[in-house]
């Protein structure tokens, strides 16, 4: 018999993504236990502080370019509309694709921007643009959102990384880039599996040895530092603390620390498990986590591809929203669902959609964004933006504003001020809570 009760990943361990459509919207999220295993979160006061003050971003990066018509800006009945219907969301008057029933039920938490015109339909250039909000100059390499978040929201005494990116598929893989901010804000890149390499304590060293070595190093360091106030020494000690912290954070990447119920909530796909790890990291205070889900570049069989992949995205987004909300983290954790561009309204001869950056969509949830809003509008066939046009700079100004980061602030390259977003760009006020 057909093994249909499957999902994804390997052939013998799949839970069919399409099957998500038939599942109940949420299997309950109230019974989650805090199993992060991090010292930081075992201290309730510190955990409370994290929840209260620090903004975090989980970016769901749809590499290859998902179709706005099969997600956030459906055009049912139009010649460009494709085979799918739209459905009413929890917000009156706002409809999204029938492939996203779970997000539809949670639309009060989410805003959709349907009016992106970013003018770049090349994978590489567009990905760089949409990860940074601006184009590099010949002599200035701009940091991406992860690096900016690491700088703005990272904590010098943090025992967790500031910027983590999962990019375990190969399509459009692009390294995170801290640009002129330097390697201090560069990401921890996971490209082969969900566990960071080389942070595990060597098996030949016992836990006691490990602690005693650290204590000895700290004792000697303190003695050496007495009477020698020095930034270099301080940085040296900070680096050791961070290394120890990172080693302690290994368990954060281990989904087996979570209950079966929680793991089922996210789905046992690679994407679902990485999203769950992203939540664990965000909860532990990691300011920015990007989870890339590739293979959206549907020049052929666009509708079969989206029929397969959008329900998985819908499921993961719903799980993240519910889980973060249940943990009191949604207010300060932003979920950005973004790609490098959208896809053509015109359906090509292989029943695919090609690259399209003139009128496409993204969504943002939580973290200071106003939910329940569908901002901007495209024409009847989705060819053009007719209301509320937004470019990459405007999108980023909005994200920064919602996160409480002044988009007009300057960084400095030597004495040269470098504004965070393109000068003259304002946030979309309607979307900032």
Partner 1 sequence: MPPTTPAPAKGTLKAAKPIPVSQQLCGIEYSPKGDMLVAGTFEGGIRRWKVTPAELTDLPPLAGHNAWVQCVAFDSKGERFFSADSWGRVNAWSADPVQTKPLWSVADAHSTWIHAMAIHPKAEFLATAGRDNIIRLTDPATGKEIRRWEAGDDVLAMTFHPSGLSLITGDLHGLIKEWDHSTGKLKRELNAKQMFLHDRLQDVGGVRCFAWNADASMLFAGGCQPKSGGFVQGFNLVIGFDWVSGQAKMNHKTTNEADGYVLDMHWNPDGFLMAVTSGQPGQGKLIFLKPGEAQPFQSYPVPNAHSLAIHPDGKRLFVSATNANSSGNGRQLGKDKEYPANTSPLHGFEFVG
98 touching partner 1, by CB under 8 A: yes
182 touching partner 1, by CB under 8 A: no
From candidates 169, 194, 221, 237, binder to partner 1 by CB under 8 A: 169
Q: Are 37 and 250 in contact (CB under 8 A)?
A: no
Size of the site for partner 1 (CB under 8 A): 54
80 touching partner 1, by CB under 8 A: yes
What is the contact mask toward partner 1 in residues 112 to 151, using x (rule: CB under 8 A)? ---------x------------------------------
CB of 410 to partner 1, least distance (A): 37
CB of 95 to partner 1, least distance (A): 14
Q: Which is nearer to partner 1, 277 or 309 (CB)?
A: 309
From candidates 193, 259, 350, 406, binder to partner 1 by CB under 8 A: 350
**CA-based nearest residue to 268, from 278, 255, 250:** 255
Crossing angle of the two packed helices 231-248 and 207-225, in degrees rounded to 10: 170
> Hunting for tokens 């509309």 — which residue is that?
81
From candidates 270, 332, 398, 401, binder to partner 1 by CB under 8 A: 270
What is the contact mask toward partner 1 in residues 296 to 315, using x (rule: CB under 8 A)? -xxxxx--xx-xxx------
Q: Which is nearer to partner 1, 178 or 305 (CB)?
A: 305
What is the contact mask toward partner 1 in residues 275 to 294, using x (rule: CB under 8 A)? ------------------xx
267 touching partner 1, by CB under 8 A: no
Distance CA 295, CA 67 (A): 12
- Exposed, middle or buried: residue 36 (CB in 10 Å: 0-12, 13-18, 19+)? buried
SS3 (DSSP) at 248: helix
**CA-based nearest residue to 249, from 282, 227, 220, 275:** 282
From candidates 218, 381, 388, 419, binder to partner 1 by CB under 8 A: 381
Q: Which is nearer to partner 1, 304 or 387 (CB)?
A: 304
171 touching partner 1, by CB under 8 A: yes
Two tokens, residue 273: 């498990």
> Hunting for tokens 């679902």 — which residue is that?
272
CB of 307 to partner 1, least distance (A): 7
From residue 90, alpha-carbon distances to 109, 122, 181, 233 in Å are: 10, 35, 41, 55
Q: Tell whether the torsion through CA atoms of 188, 56, 394 and 299 is positive or negative.
A: positive
> Using alpha carbons only, what angle is made at residue 248 by residues 267 and 30, rounded to the nearest 5 degrees?
35
Distance CA 63, CA 48 (A): 34
Binding residues for partner 1 (CB under 8 A): 1-2, 4, 8-9, 11, 14, 16, 18, 21, 64, 76-77, 79-85, 98, 121, 169, 171, 269-271, 293-295, 297-301, 304-305, 307-309, 344-350, 352, 354-355, 358, 381, 383-384
């Amino acid at each position: 018999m057909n093994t249909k009760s499957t999902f994804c990943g390997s052939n013998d361990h799949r839970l069919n993504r399409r099957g998500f459509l038939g599942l109940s919207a949420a299997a309950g999220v109230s019974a989650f236990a805090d199993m992060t295993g991090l010292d930081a979160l075992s201290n309730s006061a510190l955990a409370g502080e994290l929840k209260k003050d620090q903004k975090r971003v989980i970016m769901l990066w749809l590499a290859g370019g998902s179709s706005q018509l099969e997600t956030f800006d459906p055009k049912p009945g139009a010649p460009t509309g494709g085979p799918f219907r739209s459905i009413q969301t929890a917000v009156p008057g706002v409809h999204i694709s029938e492939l996203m029933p779970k997000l539809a039920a949670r639309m009060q938490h989410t805003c959709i921007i349907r009016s992106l015109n970013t003018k770049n339909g090349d994978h590489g250039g567009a990905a760089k643009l949409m990860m940074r909000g601006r184009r590099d100059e010949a002599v200035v390499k701009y940091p991406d959102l992860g690096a900016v978040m690491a700088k703005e929201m990272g904590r010098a005494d943090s025992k967790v990384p500031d910027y983590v990116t999962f990019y375990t598929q190969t399509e459009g893989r692009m390294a995170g880039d801290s640009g002129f901010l330097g390697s201090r804000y560069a990401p921890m890149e996971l490209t082969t599996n969900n566990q960071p390499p080389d942070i595990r304590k060597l098996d030949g060293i016992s836990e006691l040895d490990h602690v005693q070595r650290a204590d000895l190093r700290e004792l000697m360091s303190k003695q050496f530092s007495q009477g020698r106030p020095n930034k270099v020494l301080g940085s040296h000690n900070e680096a050791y603390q961070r290394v120890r912290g990172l080693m302690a954070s290994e368990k954060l990447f281990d989904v087996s620390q979570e209950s079966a119920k929680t793991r089922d909530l996210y789905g046992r796909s690679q994407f679902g498990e990485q999203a769950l790890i992203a939540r664990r990291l965000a909860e532990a205070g990691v300011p920015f986590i990007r989870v890339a889900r590739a293979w959206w570049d549907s020049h052929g069989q666009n509708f079969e591809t989206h029929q397969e992949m959008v329900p998985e995205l819908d499921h993961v987004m719903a799980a993240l929203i519910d889980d973060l909300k249940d943990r009191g983290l949604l207010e300060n954790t932003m979920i950005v669902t973004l790609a490098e561009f959208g896809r053509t309204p015109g359906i090509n001869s292989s029943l695919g959609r090609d690259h399209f950056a003139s009128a496409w969509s993204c969504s943002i949830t939580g973290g200071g964004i106003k939910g329940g809003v569908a901002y901007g509008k495209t024409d009847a066939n989705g060819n053009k933006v007719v209301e509320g046009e937004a470019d990459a700079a405007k999108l980023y100004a909005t994200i920064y504003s919602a996160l409480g980061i002044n988009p007009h602030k300057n960084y400095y390259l030597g004495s040269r001020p470098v504004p965070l977003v393109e000068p003259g760009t304002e946030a979309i006020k309607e979307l900032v809570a």
